[in-house]
C-alpha cells in the first residue's frame, strides 16, 4: 500500500502536487489558473469591448473539464456544469470566453490547425444561441458521439463501481494511501459532530429520501487529496450508511459524501448582485441555478470554523476528458458544450432578456468570422498570455526542488 501523508506534512505535499499537475500540460494549466485568467482578461485590450450580458449565475470557471454527466437524486443523468466553486452572479460572457480558451488550448494540444479553433468558436456561438432561443429544448444541439458514450456509460454505473474507484470496493472503511490520508483527532471529532447535528443529519437524509424517519450512521472518514485548483483547501470523504424509515429494516445502503471547503470567488460579480455572503451558501445557490441535478444534492455547512459544501457522490457523475473528442468531433463538441452552458444561463432569463442577449451576441462580426470579434480577439490575446504564463510557470517549477516530479504519474 502506498504510504500516507501525516497531517503536518499535508501543506507541502499538496503544494507540490498542485504544481506538478499544472506543469503537465497547457490544458492542465488552464484548469489551475482561474485567478490568472481574470487578471489577464482585465489587462487585455479587448476587455472594454466585452458586452455586459444580463446578470445571472455563471460558473466562473467554465472549462471543458468542468462539464460532464451529472445525476439527479433519482439517478437521471444530464450533461451539466459539474464544478461551481467559483460561481457568482456575473457576466455570462465570461463563461463563454473561459470555455473558448479551454477549447483553443485543447485543440492546440491535439495539433489541430488554427482554422479549427476559428470554426470551434463559431460553433460555440451557434450552440449557445440555440440554447437561448429555447433552453427547455434540450435536443437543440446534437450530442457528439463521445459525449453520448460517456453519458450512456454513466447511466449504467452503480454503487459498486464508485466504491471500486474511490475506496477499493470496501464497505467498512476508506483505504488510506495515495488519495486518502489520515485525519487528525480534531478533524475526526469535528466531522462526527457535524453529522450528529440535527439540521445536517436531516438535510443529508433528505438527499436519500428519508428526511422524516431515516437514520444515518457515519462509518469512516479521511482527508481527500483531490482536484487541482482546490488542492490545499479542506477536502474530506465520508463513508456513511443510510437506513430507511421502514420498521424492522435490518440494513441500509452505503454512500460517499464529499466535504469541500468553499473558497472565495475570484470572478468579477455584477454590481449590486444579491448573493449569499456565506461562501458555501453562494456555491449551493449557484449550483441550483446552473446545474439543478447537482445543486439539489448539495448542503452548505461549517466545519472547523470554515464554510464547506457537502455533496453526495453519485456513480453516474463523470467528467469529460479532452482526449475523448476526435478531430472530426471537435467542432460538434464545441457547439454542444456551449449549448449546455447556454441552457444553464438561459433558464435563468425571461424570454425578452434571452432574445436581447442572443441578438447582442450575434452582432459584431468582422465579416471573416461568423462569431463576435470581441470573443475571437479575447481568445487570441488570452491564448498568448496563457502560453507565456504556462512556460514561465514551467520554468519556475523546473528550477524548484520538485521539478523532476513533473513527468511522474498522478
pLDDT in tens, 123-138: 999 999 999 999 887 7
Q: What is the pLDDT of residue 408?
A: 41
Rg value, the chain, Cα:
22
pLDDT band at 109 (very low <50, low <70, confident <90, very high): confident
Q: How many CB atoms lie within 10 A of CB 43?
A: 10
pLDDT band at 60 (very low <50, low <70, confident <90, very high): very high
Q: What is the pLDDT of residue 285?
A: 98
Lowest mean per-residue pLDDT among 36-50, 98-112, 257-271: 98-112
Taking only the tens place, the pLDDT of each residue in 264-290 is 999 999 999 999 999 999 999 999 999
Between 409 and 317, the higher pLDDT residue: 317
pLDDT band at 249 (very low <50, low <70, confident <90, very high): very low
Between 44 and 362, the higher pLDDT residue: 44
pLDDT, average across residues 142-154: 81
pLDDT band at 261 (very low <50, low <70, confident <90, very high): very high
Residues of the chain with pLDDT > 90, as a percent, come to: 47
Q: How many CB atoms lie within 10 A of CB 303?
A: 19
For 275, list phi and psi in degrees, rounded to 5.
-120, 155
Q: What DSSP letter does each residue of 11-35 carry, written as one string?
A: HHHHHHHHHHHHHS-HHHHHHH-HH
pLDDT band at 323 (very low <50, low <70, confident <90, very high): low
Give the residue from 186, 311, 199, 207 showing the smallest Cα distance to 259: 311
Beta bridge partners of 220: 239
Taking only the tens place, the pLDDT of each residue in 334-344 is 999 999 999 99
Residues of the chain with pLDDT > 70, as a percent, come to: 88
Lowest mean per-residue pLDDT among 1-15, 58-72, 106-120, 350-364: 1-15
pLDDT, average across residues 10-35: 84
Question: Is the pLDDT assigned to residue 401 strictly greater than 70?
Answer: no
pLDDT, average across residues 133-161: 80
Question: Is the pLDDT assigned to residue 213 strictly greater than 80?
Answer: no
On whether the pTM is more than 0.85, the answer is yes
pLDDT, average across residues 1-12: 73
Edge-to-edge order in the sheet of strand 235-243: 180-181, 215-224, 235-243, 253-261, 306-313, 298-303
| Helix, coil or strand: residue 315 | coil
Q: What is the pLDDT of residue 3?
A: 64
What's the mean pLDDT when you consider all of the chain? 85
Q: What is the pLDDT of residue 305?
A: 95
pLDDT, average across residues 105-121: 85
pLDDT, average across residues 50-59: 96
Lowest mean per-residue pLDDT among 91-105, 145-159, 211-225, 325-339: 145-159
pLDDT band at 238 (very low <50, low <70, confident <90, very high): very high
Give the residue from 325, 342, 320, 331 showing the smallest Cα distance to 70: 320
Question: Is the pLDDT assigned to residue 10 strictly greater than 70?
Answer: yes
Q: What DSSP letter does each residue of 159-202 carry, written as one string?
A: HHHHHHHHHTT-SS-PPPSSSEEPPPHHHHHHHHHHHHSHHHHH
Class of residue 48 by CB neighbours under 10 A (exposed 0-12, middle 13-18, buried 19+): exposed
Q: What is the pLDDT of residue 399?
A: 64
C-alpha cell at position 366: 468582422
Question: Is the pLDDT assigned to residue 88 strictly greater than 90?
Answer: yes
Lowest mean per-residue pLDDT among 89-103, 193-207, 220-234, 259-273: 220-234
Q: What is the pLDDT of residue 229?
A: 56
pLDDT, average across residues 22-28: 84
Amino acid at each position: 500500500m502506498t504510504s500516507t501523508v501525516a497531517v503536518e506534512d499535508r501543506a507541502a505535499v499538496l503544494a507540490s502536487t498542485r504544481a506538478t499537475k499544472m506543469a503537465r500540460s497547457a490544458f492542465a494549466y488552464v484548469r489551475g489558473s482561474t485567478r490568472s485568467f481574470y487578471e489577464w482578461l482585465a489587462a487585455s485590450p479587448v476587455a472594454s469591448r466585452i458586452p455586459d450580458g444580463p446578470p445571472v449565475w455563471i460558473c466562473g470557471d467554465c472549462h471543458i473539464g468542468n462539464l460532464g454527466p451529472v445525476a439527479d437524486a433519482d439517478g437521471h443523468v444530464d450533461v451539466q456544469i459539474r464544478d461551481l466553486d467559483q460561481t457568482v452572479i456575473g457576466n455570462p460572457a465570461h463563461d463563454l470566453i473561459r470555455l473558448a480558451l479551454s477549447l483553443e488550448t485543447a485543440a492546440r494540444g491535439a495539433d489541430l490547425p488554427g482554422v479549427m479553433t476559428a470554426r470551434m468558436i463559431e460553433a460555440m456561438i451557434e450552440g449557445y444561441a440555440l440554447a437561448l432561443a429555447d433552453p427547455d429544448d434540450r435536443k437543440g444541439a446534437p450530442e457528439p458521439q463521445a459525449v453520448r458514450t460517456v453519458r450512456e456509460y454513466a447511466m449504467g454505473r452503480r454503487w459498486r463501481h464508485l466504491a471500486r474507484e474511490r475506496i477499493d470496493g470496501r464497505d467498512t472503511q476508506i483505504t488510506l494511501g495515495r488519495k486518502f490520508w489520515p485525519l487528525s483527532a480534531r478533524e475526526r471529532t469535528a466531522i462526527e459532530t457535524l453529522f450528529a447535528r440535527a439540521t445536517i443529519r436531516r438535510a443529508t437524509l433528505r438527499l436519500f429520501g428519508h428526511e422524516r424517519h431515516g437514520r444515518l450512521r457515519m462509518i469512516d472518514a479521511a482527508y481527500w487529496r483531490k482536484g487541482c485548483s482546490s488542492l490545499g483547501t479542506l477536502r474530506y470523504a465520508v463513508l456513511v450508511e443510510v437506513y430507511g424509515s421502514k420498521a424492522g429494516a435490518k440494513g441500509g445502503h452505503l454512500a460517499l459524501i464529499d466535504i469541500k471547503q468553499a473558497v472565495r470567488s475570484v470572478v468579477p460579480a455584477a454590481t449590486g448582485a444579491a448573493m449569499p455572503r456565506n461562501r458555501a451558501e453562494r456555491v449551493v445557490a449557484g449550483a441550483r441555478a446552473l446545474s439543478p441535478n447537482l445543486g439539489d444534492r448539495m448542503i452548505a455547512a461549517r466545519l472547523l470554523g470554515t464554510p464547506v459544501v457537502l455533496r453526495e457522490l453519485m456513480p453516474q457523475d463523470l467528467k469529460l476528458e479532452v482526449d475523448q473528442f476526435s478531430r472530426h468531433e471537435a467542432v460538434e463538441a464545441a457547439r454542444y458544450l456551449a449549448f449546455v452552458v447556454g441552457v444553464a444561463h438561459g433558464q435563468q432569463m425571461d424570454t425578452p432578456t434571452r432574445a436581447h442577449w442572443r441578438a447582442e451576441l450575434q452582432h459584431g462580426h468582422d465579416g471573416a468570422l461568423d462569431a463576435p470579434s470581441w470573443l475571437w480577439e479575447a481568445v487570441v490575446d488570452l491564448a498568448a498570455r496563457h502560453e507565456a504564463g504556462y512556460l514561465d510557470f514551467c520554468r519556475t517549477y523546473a528550477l524548484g526542488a520538485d521539478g523532476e516530479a513533473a513527468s511522474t504519474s498522478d
